[in-house]
């Protein structure tokens, strides 16, 4: 089922009515049935795999509850293998075989296991990470075992989140069931507004930018100068609007049902450092990686290393660097089985490590220059430099190969474009309006004027906004970028 | 009790807000639509000042052959081969985004400039009744057509007939998109490197590709490996979007006493398996042709008439690709065979290929 279709709107309306009218005990079952129906629409085999995973996770978690010590750890390992197995086979096996074969031979097939006819199920990375989160929380005793398979099934397969997140935490989601699922006009209206805002981000801003971005990224060898730099800036906003647009819609849809899910984006391009960027970008994934990968790895390493310094550098830095490096490389790999994603993750890891290593020195410089941290110019400079570093890394994320990425970067120059200025101006203006709107959204709680607008005026503004979405929605039928992950 | 009151107030506020939203949406939708229509009409009216780009017919001979169609016909019919084989000049009006409505208006203009041709060859596409002719091309031929097309009373957006009833903007969204795309293209394209720009504007790449239907220098894009599954294309039946214009065009040609050859161009096997409702398409054309005299159907999209398996004859196509084009070699071969067939029919004056036996 396509998310941006009237079919989905009818489906949603039916689900809302049924969920609101159903008795409290039945509500999760209604939403679970709706989620299966929605996911099964893509392919029945995908649904079957999801069902198997839900049953497996349920059984493993119950099994863990009955064991202690080493046995409990064994069950956890078995469950992790079972949950990660399908993701590994369907997403990474081709890549690994291809990479190994390419070490020994100059010709390798793009998909060595194509004869198996394996297709990557949509959303598998997202629901696998949800399952892992649940199992790890249960193992560490931070979450009670869910005895009701329907509630657990709903957590893993909840339809607004299954395709591209957010990777919500079980504790947050399960604690709201079923009491939160009630008709509340305020929730309904807030949720629908968020959906409309997400829709605008996706089909107006992201898809309009895609028209330029696709041209320059598909043939970087044919373009030059500032046009390529503009393409890079446009792509940074395209991916942000595309993914955060979907996330807004997912959060908004859950909100219409009365469920609060975790935010996935918090105006990341207003970040003043790479570390802050990762606290605002794809929050559900970055916090997942922090909690289940980075911190356990860092603790394990620091327990192993007893010395305080090694080669005059604090061992704490080695621990941070290695844990962060591995986490970010895996973060890149999570996005896709390709060296471009690995390099993208690696580059972010490098930024974070360098940032950590130079933190003291930078503070010292600021003190010497008598610059305070809230200096407007300093804030502007830090935002701009963070955005530039993030955008630079996006080249690897977007390009189909490392060669293409290099070609793209090599052709960027500050030469003024001889043509296409009209397109640049149009998209630049659209982006400018969007950035202003995004900044307003960021500080909407602080602006009193926005809170006291009478209902009819609010309604008029939203009506005008809806009309503008219809007019400006790009005719590209672009799928959400993050569905491929 | 107080909680219940708050809930009632919330519900009342929600209903009031929804009502305001509905009324405002209705008003803005109509107003913005009218503004958009005005803008689009003005834009296309400004293009009208450009004269229609008439060309000199290709080849030499007595009388003229008029070829009509889309880019498939542009690529598929070789003017030189046809002209030499039938000893007539050839005028080809075949370009992407031009369907029966465009051809109908074009023919009305054409016969005023030249005179009715000796014969017309019309290249048929599987998707002939599925699409609208592009406004940008159409407005050069007929002034009022855009206003007619932006009439909200008749329009329905096929993406959602239900939403079409609610919103005029949505109803005519495809037309608005077309206008916005024309505007977008008029803004120029990204700054290309000198070598790439020169390649595109060289005579080898520019004129001949359009006029003579050649695609030299363009990389072949045929999908030769059959995948496990691929997207299949349903056939959009007559009358579809512009079917009645084809009927009217054939009527006019009938009135002018012009022999018409409706030609099914060959498609690579993968595209044929993608366009899986060929029989329905052929039946529709056959039915349409029976309403007119002097209309002949020639079907080259069969393995008996043309090699549909040899990818070397096609520029693009394959499984999942509905729009398949012949390449230079394929066009020469196909046009030669077609010319022989036409000559045979014209000589014999027979009706063995009349529409009853497509």
pLDDT in tens, B170-185: 888 888 888 888 888 7
> In chain B, whose CA is at the least distance from the CA of A10?
B162
CB B326 within 8 A of CB B334: yes
Touching check for B131 and chain A: CB below 8 Å?
A: no
Q: Which residue has the higher pLDDT, B50 or B41?
A: B41
Touching check for B182 and chain A: CB below 8 Å?
A: no
CA-closest candidate to residue B68, choices B214, B253, B206, B208: B253
Give a yes or no: residue B59 inside a domain: no
Which positions in chain B touch A462 (Cβ < 8 Å)? 21, 24
Confidence of residue A325 (pLDDT cuts 50, 70, 90): very high
Chain B interface, best mutation among A216, A457, A465, A475, by max B CB count within 10 A: A475
Coil/strand/helix, residue A243: helix
**DSSP assignment, residue A204?**
I
pLDDT for residue B199 is more than 50: no
What is the residue-averaged pLDDT of chain A?
A: 86
CB-based burial label for A344 (10 Å; 0-12, 13-18, 19+): buried
Q: Which residue has the higher pLDDT, B50 or A402?
A: A402
To the nearest 10°, report the CA torsion of A190, A193, A199, A201.
-90
Give a yes or no: residue B141 inside a domain: no
pLDDT tens digits, A373-419: 788 888 999 999 999 999 999 999 998 888 888 988 888 887 777 77
pLDDT tens digits, B125-135: 999 998 888 87
Give a yes or no: residue B205 inside a domain: no
CA-closest candidate to residue B252, choices B290, B296, B292: B292
Q: Identify the domain containing residue B221 by its residue range.
A: 64-134+211-348
> In chain A, whose CA is at the least distance from the CA of B13?
A455
Which of B329-353 are b and which e, b meaning 16 or more Cβ less than 10 Å from the residue's Cβ?
ebbbbbbebbbebbeebeeeeeeeb
Which of B63-91 are b and which e, b meaning 16 or more Cβ less than 10 Å from the residue's Cβ?
ebbbbbbbbbbbbbbbbebbbbbbebbbb
Overall number of domains in chain B: 1
> Across the beta sheet with B259-264, what order do the strands follow?
B89-94, B64-69, B119-124, B259-264, B295-299
Distance CA A126, CA B211 (A): 52
Rounded mean pLDDT of B248-252? 93
Touching check for B160 and chain A: CB below 8 Å?
A: yes
The vertex-A245 CA angle with A242 and A250, nearest 5°, equals 125
> In chain A, whose CA is at the least distance from the CA of B14?
A185
To the nearest 10°, report the CA torsion of A327, A329, A331, A336.
-160
Contact state of A420 with B174 under an 8 Å Cβ cutoff: no
Which positions in chain B touch A456 (Cβ < 8 Å)? 16-17, 20, 24
Distance CA B170, CA B187 (A): 25
Dihedral sign of CA atoms A27, A31, A33, A34 in order: positive
Residue in this structure with the two tokens 């004269």, named with its chain if needed: B51
pLDDT value at residue A452: 77
Query: For chain A, how many residues are written?
Result: 485
* Max Cα-Cα span within chain B: 96
Catalytic position from the list A266, A335, A348, A370: A335
Dihedral sign of CA atoms B159, B160, B161, B165 in order: negative
Instruction: Give Cα B142 to chain centroid, integer Å.
Output: 17
- Active-site residue flag, A335: yes
Touching check for A185 and chain B: CB below 8 Å?
A: yes
Distance CA B2, CA B5 (A): 5
pLDDT tens digits, A213-255: 888 888 887 777 788 888 999 999 999 999 899 899 999 999 9
The CA–CA distances, whole Å, from A217 to A220, A314, A390, B36 equal: 5, 42, 17, 32
pLDDT for residue B234 is more than 50: yes
Pairing of strands B89-94, A313-314: unpaired
Task: Please report, rounded to a whole number, the percentage of residues in chain B having pLDDT higher than 90.
Answer: 41
Least confident segment among A53-62, B154-163, B282-291: B154-163
pLDDT value at residue B194: 55
Least confident segment among A105-114, A169-178, A221-230: A105-114
Give a yes or no: residue B250 inside a domain: yes
Angstroms from B186 CA to nearest CA on chain A: 8
Angstroms from A130 CA to nearest CA on chain B: 31
pLDDT value at residue A115: 56
Distance CA A204, CA A198 (A): 10
Confidence of residue A113 (pLDDT cuts 50, 70, 90): low
pLDDT tens digits, B54-66: 888 888 888 899 9
CA-closest candidate to residue A276, choices A189, A356, A168, A200: A356
Tell me the sheet residues that pair with B92: B67
Touching check for A414 and chain B: CB below 8 Å?
A: no
Show the tokens assigned to B228: 């496990």
Pairing of strands B221-223, B295-299: unpaired
pLDDT value at residue A279: 92
* CATH number for B113: 3.40.50.1110
Rounded mean pLDDT of B86-112? 91
Touching check for A477 and chain B: CB below 8 Å?
A: no
pLDDT value at residue B208: 30
Confidence of residue B124 (pLDDT cuts 50, 70, 90): very high
Rounded mean pLDDT of A107-127? 70
Contact state of A419 with B181 under an 8 Å Cβ cutoff: no
Which positions in chain A touch B173 (Cβ < 8 Å)? 470, 473
Show the tokens assigned to B294: 């002097």
pLDDT for residue A109 is more than 60: no
pLDDT value at residue B146: 73
Contact state of B21 with A475 under an 8 Å Cβ cutoff: no
Rounded mean pLDDT of A422-445? 85
Q: Which residue has the higher pLDDT, B146 or B182?
A: B182
The vertex-A87 CA angle with A84 and A89, nearest 5°, equals 105
pLDDT for residue B201 is more than 80: no
CB B121 within 8 A of CB B79: no
> In chain A, whose CA is at the least distance from the CA of B11?
A185
pLDDT tens digits, B323-342: 999 988 999 999 999 999 99
Touching check for A221 and chain B: CB below 8 Å?
A: yes
Q: What values do phi and psi take at B121, rounded to 5?
A: -110, 125
- Number of neighbouring beta carbons within 10 Å of residue A377: 8
Tell me the sheet residues that pair with B295: B260
Least confident segment among A101-110, A264-273, A457-466: A101-110
């Amino acid at each position: 089922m396509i998310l941006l279709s009237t079919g989905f709107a009818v489906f949603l309306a039916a689900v809302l009515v049924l969920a609101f009218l159903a008795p409290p005990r039945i509500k999760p079952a209604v939403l679970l049935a709706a989620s299966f129906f929605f996911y099964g629409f893509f392919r029945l085999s995908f649904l079957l795999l999801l069902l198997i995973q839900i049953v497996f996770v349920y059984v493993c978690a119950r099994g863990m509850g009955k064991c202690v010590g080493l046995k409990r750890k064994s069950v956890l390992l078995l469950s992790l293998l079972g949950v990660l197995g399908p993701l590994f086979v369907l997403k990474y096996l081709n890549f690994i075989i291809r990479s190994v074969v390419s070490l020994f031979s100059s010709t390798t097939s793009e998909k060595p296991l194509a004869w198996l006819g394996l297709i990557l199920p949509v959303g598998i990375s997202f629901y696998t990470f949800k399952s892992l989160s649940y199992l790890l929380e249960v193992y560490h005793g931070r979450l009670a075992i869910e005895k009701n398979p329907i509630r657990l099934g709903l957590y893993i397969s909840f339809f607004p989140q299954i395709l591209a997140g957010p990777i919500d935490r079980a504790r947050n989601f399960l604690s709201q069931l079923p009491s939160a699922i009630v008709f509340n006009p305020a929730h309904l209206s807030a949720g629908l507004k968020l959906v409309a805002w997400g829709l605008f981000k996706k089909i107006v801003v992201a898809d309009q930018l895609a028209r330029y971005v696709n041209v320059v990224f598909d043939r970087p060898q044919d373009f030059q100068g500032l046009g390529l730099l503009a393409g890079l800036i446009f792509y940074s906003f395209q991916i942000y609007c595309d993914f955060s647009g979907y996330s807004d819609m997912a959060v908004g849809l859950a909100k219409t049902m009365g469920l609060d899910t975790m935010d996935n984006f918090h105006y990341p391009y207003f970040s003043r450092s790479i570390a802050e960027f990762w606290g605002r970008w794809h929050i559900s994934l970055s916090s997942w990686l922090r909690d289940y990968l980075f911190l356990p790895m860092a603790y394990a390493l620091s327990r192993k290393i007893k010395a305080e310094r090694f080669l005059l550098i604090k061992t704490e830095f080695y621990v941070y660097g290695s844990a962060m490096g591995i986490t970010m490389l895996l973060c890149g790999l999570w996005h896709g089985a390709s060296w471009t994603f690995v390099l993208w993750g690696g580059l972010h890891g490098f930024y974070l490590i360098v940032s950590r290593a130079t933190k003291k020195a930078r503070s010292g410089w600021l003190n010497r220059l008598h610059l305070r941290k809230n200096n407007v110019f300093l804030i502007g400079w830090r935002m701009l430099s963070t955005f530039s570093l993030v955008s630079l890394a996006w080249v690897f994320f977007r390009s189909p190969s490392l060669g293409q990425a290099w070609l793209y970067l090599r052709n960027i120059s500050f030469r003024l474009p001889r043509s296409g200025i009209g397109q640049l101006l149009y998209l630049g203006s659209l982006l400018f309006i969007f950035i202003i709107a995004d900044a307003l959204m960021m500080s909407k709680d602080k602006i009193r004027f926005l809170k006291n607008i009478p209902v009819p005026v609010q309604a008029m503004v939203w009506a005008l906004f809806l009309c503008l979405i219809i007019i400006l929605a790009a005719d590209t039928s672009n799928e959400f970028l993050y569905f491929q992950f | 009790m107080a909680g219940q009151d708050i809930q009632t107030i919330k519900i009342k506020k929600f209903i009031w807000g929804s009502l305001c939203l509905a009324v405002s949406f209705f008003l803005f939708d109509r107003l913005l639509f009218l503004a958009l229509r005005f803008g689009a009409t003005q834009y296309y009216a400004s293009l009208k000042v450009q004269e229609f780009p008439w060309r000199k017919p290709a080849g030499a001979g007595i009388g003229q052959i008029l070829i009509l169609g889309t880019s498939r016909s542009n690529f598929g019919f070789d003017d030189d081969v046809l002209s030499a084989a039938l000893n007539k000049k050839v005028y080809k009006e075949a370009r992407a985004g031009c369907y029966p409505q465009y051809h109908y208006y074009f023919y009305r203009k054409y016969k005023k400039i030249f005179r009715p041709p000796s014969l017309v060859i019309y290249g048929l596409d599987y998707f002939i009744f599925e699409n609208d002719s592009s406004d940008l091309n159409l407005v050069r031929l007929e002034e009022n057509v855009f206003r007619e097309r932006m009439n909200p009373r008749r329009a329905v957006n096929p993406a959602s007939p239900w939403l079409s009833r609610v919103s005029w903007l949505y109803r005519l969204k495809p037309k608005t998109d077309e206008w916005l795309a024309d505007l977008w293209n008029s803004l120029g394209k990204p700054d290309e490197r000198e070598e790439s720009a020169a390649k595109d504007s060289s005579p080898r790449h520019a004129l001949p590709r359009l006029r003579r239907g050649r695609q030299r220098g363009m990389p072949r894009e045929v999908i030769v490996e059959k995948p496990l599954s691929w997207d299949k294309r349903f056939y959009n039946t007559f009358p579809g979007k512009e079917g009645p214009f084809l009927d009217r065009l054939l009527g006019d040609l009938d009135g002018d006493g012009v022999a018409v050859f409706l030609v099914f161009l060959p498609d690579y096997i993968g595209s044929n398996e993608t366009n899986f409702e060929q029989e329905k398409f052929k039946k529709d054309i056959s039915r349409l042709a029976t309403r007119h005299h002097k209309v002949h159907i020639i079907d080259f999209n069969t393995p008996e008439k043309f090699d549909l398996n040899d990818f070397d004859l096609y520029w693009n196509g394959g499984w999942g690709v509905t729009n398949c084009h012949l390449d230079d070699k394929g066009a020469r071969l196909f046009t030669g065979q077609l010319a022989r067939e036409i000559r045979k029919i014209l000589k014999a004056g027979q009706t063995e290929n009349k529409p009853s036996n497509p």
